[in-house]
Amino acid sequence: MCDSDKLDSAFLAYGASKANNFLDADVLILNTCSVRMQSEQKAFSYLGRMEEFKQQNPDVKIIVMGCMTERLGNDIKKRFKSIDLVVGTKDIDNSISKIIDLCCFRNSFKKINSNIQFRSKVISYITIMKGCNNYCSYCIVPFVRGIEKSFDYNTIINKCSSAVKNGVREVILLGQNVNSYKYKNVDFTSLLKSIASIKNLERIRFLTNHPKDLSDDLINVITTNRKMCSHIHLPMQSASNKILRLMNRKYTYEYYLDLIEKLRLAIPDITITTDIIVGFPGENDRDFEDTLNAIKTIKFGGLYVFKYSPRPNTMAFEMSDDVSIIEKKKRHAIILEESNKISAEIALKMIGTRHQVLVEKVKDGFMEAKTKSGRKVFLKIDKKHYGKIVNIIIKEAKINSLFGDVID
Ligand code: SAH
Ligand code: SF4
């Protein structure tokens, strides 16, 4: 998401704009993901379509970026001969300049102003670290994104400040495990405090947190700093201690539940969202029931559920993938149904409540805004509210969308 965003900004600065479909495009860029096998298969199918398109339109450039290039770089090039450039993820800024160089040469884009990076955007994603050292047994990230590295503190502050100068009101800090950010003597909470002192910045969000690293210090900063949003994405993965151990997650379900209680006590309006994997090797009916019951107990504000997919090099790749695909699909559907039910209940309870929302963008005939706790609210279009924080009342609720009126 963030790499695409960066590339977007870079292209905008060169006067290029997004095409709506292949036919309108001079350059086709595929940003790939390796986390699950399904994402890789999707990428291959896109590449097939791109290659066919290029046969009829030989001037079009095809560029592939993202995790998959780290894992399969040469193989992708061999299989799809018409790819013009494959760039890695480890040094994304360098990769983006390679892409821009190639496109400038071909299409004679002229650089307009490299500082227009955040033009008219209200929200900006800023990566503060890359890689991961946690080696959860199912996860390919440490192998394709490398070991954890925190980025230079001053560079991050400068990026946030320049985004704010260009109209951004909310920054979303990104990393696989942001809570373990450490650059020289600056840790994550000190970084948050410095960013919060940037004038005209209204809101700060961050993702993702590993439960084992979520500190009291962080909870304290969220409680005491008005710019910190009350939303935490805290992947649980499973509620069976046997499965958590096999996943190498380094916490128990009881520890996770205590953490949720602590967060809710300290930050009453907090939204907690999570990731769940179903069908991990050895997950039997009882393990699955544990996870389902935990979801009913905790009532997450939202969740992503994934069917386990074996990834090369990971520890779990050596385990027997013993839950059938039919069973994985069944468990996936049960979790999704329960989660939708809970989301609908939460949304219904919100009707009539008042919130301050940041108006982020115009989409599908509405203005899209977000509450501090991360709930999306759609409002009637009124350009004067764009990029502003406004008071609203919730009028109508659907599972994932709330509709509100401004009440200034
Ligand atoms: N660093 C983040 C997660 C990054 S991957 C974190 O630890 O929270 C995003 C999600 O994809 C994970 O939380 C997990 O739920 C899911 N995932 C990762 N590898 C997977 C695999 N091999 N099969 C299925 N889901 C997987
Ligand atoms: Fe993958 Fe675990 Fe690292 Fe998240 S914390 S990126 S799931 S290894």
Q: Is the CB of 142 under 6 A from ligand 2?
A: yes
Exposed, middle or buried, 18 (CB in 10 Å: 0-12/13-18/19+)? exposed
Q: Is the CB of 247 under 6 A from ligand 2?
A: no
C-beta separation of 349 from 371 below 8 A: no
Q: Residue 399's pLDDT is what?
A: 65
Residue 257 pLDDT more than 60?
Answer: yes
The model's confidence at residue 15, banded by pLDDT at 50, 70 and 90, is low
Q: Is the CB of 306 under 6 A from ligand 1?
A: yes
362's CB contacts (< 8 A; 6+ apart) are 368, 381, 386
Angstrom distance (rounded) from CA 61 to CA 50: 10
- Which of 143, 177, 209, 308 to mutate to test ligand 2, by most ligand atoms within 8 A of the CB atom? 177
DSSP calls for 7-33 = HHHHHHHTT----SSGGG-SEEEEEE-
Question: Which one of the ligands is nearest to 34 CA?
Answer: 1
Atom of ligand 1 nearest to the CA of 275: 15
Omega within 30 of 0 (cis) for the link into 155: no
Pairing of strands 186-187, 182-183: antiparallel
Q: Residue 155's pLDDT is what?
A: 96
Atom of ligand 2 nearest to the CA of 177: 5
For residue 35, report the distance from its CA to the centre of ligand 1, in Å: 7
Angstrom distance (rounded) from CA 356 to CA 369: 9
Q: Which residue, by CA, sits nearest to atom 1 of ligand 2? A: 139
Angstrom distance (rounded) from CA 146 to CA 34: 13
For residue 266, report the distance from its CA to the centre of ligand 2, in Å: 26
Q: Residue 11's pLDDT is what?
A: 75
Q: What is the pTM of this model?
A: 0.86
Q: Residue 112's pLDDT is what?
A: 46
Question: Which one of the ligands is nearest to 274 CA?
Answer: 1
Q: Residue 188's pLDDT is what?
A: 97
More confident residue, 383 or 236: 236
Q: Is the CB of 141 under 6 A from ligand 2?
A: yes
- Which of 39, 139, 210 to mutate to test ligand 1, by most ligand atoms within 8 A of the CB atom? 139
Residue 10 pLDDT more than 80?
Answer: no
Q: Is the CB of 36 under 6 A from ligand 1?
A: yes
Q: Which residue, by CA, sits nearest to atom 13 of ligand 1? A: 275
For residue 274, report the distance from its CA to the centre of ligand 2, in Å: 13
Q: Is the CB of 277 under 6 A from ligand 1?
A: yes
Asked which of 5-9, 45-49, 341-345, 350-354 is least confident by mean pLDDT, the reply is 5-9
For the chain, list the domains and their CATH numbers: 2-108 (3.40.50.12160), 119-229 (3.30.750.210), 230-349 (3.30.750.200), 354-406 (2.40.50.140)
Q: Is the CB of 35 under 6 A from ligand 1?
A: yes
Residue 1 pLDDT more than 60?
Answer: no
**Phi, psi dihedrals of residue 394, rounded to the nearest 5°:** -80, 130
Pairing of strands 354-363, 389-397: antiparallel
Mean pLDDT computed over every residue of the chain: 89
Half-sphere exposure of 53 (CA within 13 A, CB side): 19
Angstrom distance (rounded) from CA 90 to CA 188: 22
Q: Residue 300's pLDDT is what?
A: 97
Give percent of the chain with pLDDT exceeding 90: 65
Other C-beta atoms lying within 10 Å of the C-beta of residue 258: 12
